[in-house]
Amino acid sequence: MDSRGTSARGLRLVVFWLVVGVVALVDQATKAAVRQVVVPGGQPFVPGVLDLVLVENTGAAFSIGLGAGALFVLVALAVLACANVIVWRHADLPLPLVVAIGLVAGGGLGNMIDRVCKGSVTDFLATTFINFPVFNVADVCVTVGVAVAFVLYLAWDRRRGKGGEEDA
């Protein structure tokens, strides 16, 4: 492998872990702030759109798997490891795709920190215009990251197929 391949991998890993760290930090900071300021019963945040409502969730999305925190910690660790390997193995991975993968991994890490430290995940964003489960910053990052990564991966894979490039 040439030095450009190594530096491309290094750059992608730095970007990936930077995104993971920022997402986890912002997620944990917003959860801590909400635990300090949200009153019982909640309060409007964006009137008619979003309320702040403090909920401690021992499950996953939509409260699926209540009480299976240890399993979700293992899943989050597996996502972090797999994402790291994907970013490392593909030196030609576009940086926007690396960022999207980092959003997914960072969101997983943010919720994993809650599960390990508190035994539950703090959710606090409640939509008021539709009936939807309460969620948090990590959940938003995972959802957006998966959707964006899916689209970017398909485009990247199509370009690689047409160009005949091989993985490094």
pLDDT, one tens digit per residue, over 39-61 is: 888 899 999 999 999 999 887 66
Residue 168 lies in a domain: no
Active site residue 139: yes
Catalytic residue among 2, 114, 139, 167: 139
Contact 117, 110 (CB under 8 A): no
Continuous H helices in 38-136: 69-89, 95-118
Q: How many domains does the chain have?
A: 1
Please report, in tens digits, the pLDDT of each residue of the chain (168 residues total): 555 556 888 999 999 999 999 999 999 999 999 999 998 888 999 999 999 999 998 876 656 666 677 888 999 999 999 999 999 999 889 999 999 999 999 999 999 999 999 999 999 999 999 999 999 999 999 999 999 999 999 999 898 887 655 444
Catalytic residue among 27, 51, 114, 123: 123
- What pTM, to 2 d.p., does this model score? 0.87
Residue 114 lies in a domain: yes
Residue 128 lies in a domain: yes
Q: Give me the domain span that covers residue 143.
A: 3-163
Residue 141 lies in a domain: yes
For 6, other C-beta atoms within 10 Å of its C-beta total: 12
Active site residue 92: no
Residue 50 lies in a domain: yes
Task: Using the CB atoms, write b or e for 26-45: b if 16+ within 10 Å.
Answer: ebbebbeebeeebeeebeeb
Residue 76 lies in a domain: yes
